[in-house]
Structure 1
């Protein structure tokens, strides 16, 4: 989906968040903000926000001389969720429909903004997961996803954020349990951007135990397919099914020319929510409406 004017605020907020994180002085903050404002003035608004914010991110990281300012926070959240992984598995194992509960928990993990602060409340996350069946999904194409997986030979699972990647791994374990013959790829960003997952995060959570990790070769805040590597695009278009986690993947892939993409995320802004005709902060499992062959 094209950049919404409200997305400009997300770009500017990222300037403030990162420069505060690295404790930059006021004059340096002003230099970065002025350059970002100039970039946003000139950029093509027909692009998606995940692609636009890549330019903003490049300006920020150039000035602070750090391409991965969230690195410490990402590692922290990965470790914290790893520590409660067995509790999450136990909650799933109590269910009569393990696949469906694991899927809902994977979506619920998208409710947590792991980059918001360097704190972690295990009780809040477990409570959200424990009450998963009370979570209403106004768009629920999980049964369609299950049916597609029955005949699929290759699945590409596109990751989203740190911490959340641990629960992605758990969901993939249950996909394997239901469909043991599927070859699963786990897609990560090619470069650090905000708190999105990279090969480093995948290695930290041992994602290779359940899937072949593949970098998309790009550092956009989502999956901007024309920016990705040839190797990634080969997997993307040959996969029978794609699970795309997070709003950034939805924004960048919702109009792509291929079918059988299932978006699992929380609509965290009015622009995205209105594109799906759902309330803001809704969680969804939505199949792509693009029915072209992929």
Structure 2
């Protein structure tokens, strides 16, 4: 069963499998939010009560469900960022591996090879995700698994198409996902802004939600010194709803 965390697109609607998945997510977030078992139980039951008011689950996207879970957990426990310890650790591990990955990219014989490696690094960084059901990354083995991933190949390689699009673009919004992996996004962003005559904005979440990157994470991995970082203007999982003040750079 895929996690309801998968897919923030508006077209991806919920189904019955999202109900147990959302309750499970509430349990996981509750454990990260507080050690008080009473409050943990209150978070889960509040989510169950909220779900019971939904007549048709397919009116919600998985992203909407997870956003509400995180809001309930924050409200009940008073913890503004339950995933903060995980995000700090993810950033630290990523920054530890970053110099090795950077050398691998710099050793490339051509820009095309370097670009492909940087894209691969950004993809491999997705292994740092703690909210995919059935998948729990081992932080102690993460550095080794990242290096092994970088030695792989892409089943679908559209890097040439991407380079072609970038050469014709004037402005780019680079949507960032999780803490930790954004360190590897930084490598790709550095390559893009150095090569192409365009303006690039990196986008993080305005407020904490799951382990998604915020401005604080962008600062921790040094991204704010490379490119202008803006926010989505809200704490939603995804971009489909709410104000997008941060996405309107001057």
Give the TM-score category using the shorter length: 0.7 to 0.9
TM-aligned CA deviation for residue 126 of structure 1? 1.6
Structure 2 unaligned residues grouped into runs of 5+: 1-11
- CA separation in 2, counterparts of 1:38 and 1:148? 47
The equivalent of 2:224 in structure 1 is 208
Query: TM-score with structure 1 length normalisation?
Result: 0.71
Native 8 Å contact 1:77 1:114 kept in 2: no
Query: Which of the residues 144, 147, 153 maps onto 1:126?
Result: 147
Q: Confirm or deny: 8 A CA contact 1:156 1:185 kept in the other structure.
A: yes
1:149-168 deviation per Cα after TM superposition (whole angstroms, max 9, x unaligned): 10111110000001001001
Q: Which of residues 149, 164, 170 is equivalent to 1:147?
A: 164
Name the one with the larger strand percent.
1
Corresponding residue of 2:123:
107
In the TM superposition, what is the alpha-carbon distance from 1:117 to its structure 2 partner? 6.5
2:176 to 159, 167, 171: 159
The alignment's C-alpha RMSD in Å is 2.2
Say whether 1:42 aligns with 2:53.
yes
Q: Distance in 2 between matches of 1:51 and 1:72?
A: 24
Q: Given that residues 184 and 212 in structure 1 are in contact (C-alpha distance below 8 angstroms), is that contact kept between their aligned partners in structure 2?
A: yes
Q: 2: distance between equivalents of 1:72 and 1:190?
A: 18
Deviation at 1:217, TM superposition (A): 1.0
Is 1:136 matched up with 2:147?
Answer: no
For residue 98 of structure 1, what is the aligned residue in structure 2?
114
Q: Do the aligned partners of residues 35 and 164 (structure 1) sit closer, same or farther apart at CA in structure 2, a change above 3 Å counting? A: same
1:41/1:175 CA distance change after superposition, 3 Å: same
Q: Which residue among 63, 72, 75 is the counterpart of 1:62?
A: 75
The 2-side partners of 1:72 and 1:39 are apart by 28
Question: Which residue is 2:44 aligned to?
Answer: 33
Tell me which residue corresponds to 1:3: 14
Aligned counterparts of 1:189 and 1:69: Cα–Cα separation in 2: 15
The aligned length equals 228
Bigger shift: residues 118-127 or 207-216: 118-127
Contact kept, 8 Å, 2:129 with 2:211, in 1: the verdict is no
Given the two structures, how large is their TM-score scaled by the length of structure 2? 0.82
**Conservation of the 8 A alpha-carbon contact between 1:101 and 1:132:** no
Tell me what 2:23 maps to: 12
Whether contact under 8 Å (1:32, 1:63) holds in the other structure is: yes
Partner of 1:186: 202
Deviation at 1:23, TM superposition (A): 2.4
Q: Is the 8 A contact 2:13 2:61 kept in 1?
A: yes
Residues 143 and 118 (structure 1 numbering): CA distance in 2 closer, same or farther, change over 3 Å? Answer: closer
Decide whether aligned partners of structure 1 residues 231 and 164 sit closer, same or farther in structure 2, where only a CA change above 3 A counts: closer
SS of the aligned residue for 1:227 comes to: coil
Q: Deviations along 1:246-286, whole A, 9 cap, x unmatched?
A: xxxxxxxxxxxxxxxxxxxxxxxxxxxxxxxxxxxxxxxxx
Trace 1:76-95 onto structure 2 (pairs within 5 A).
76-95=89-108
Structure 2 residue aligned with 1:249? none
Q: 2:36: which partner in 1?
A: 24
What SS does structure 2 have at the residue aligned with 1:132?
A: coil
For 1:59-83, what per-residue CA distance to the aligned partner results, in whole angstroms no more than 9, with x for missing partners? 1111111010111221121122112
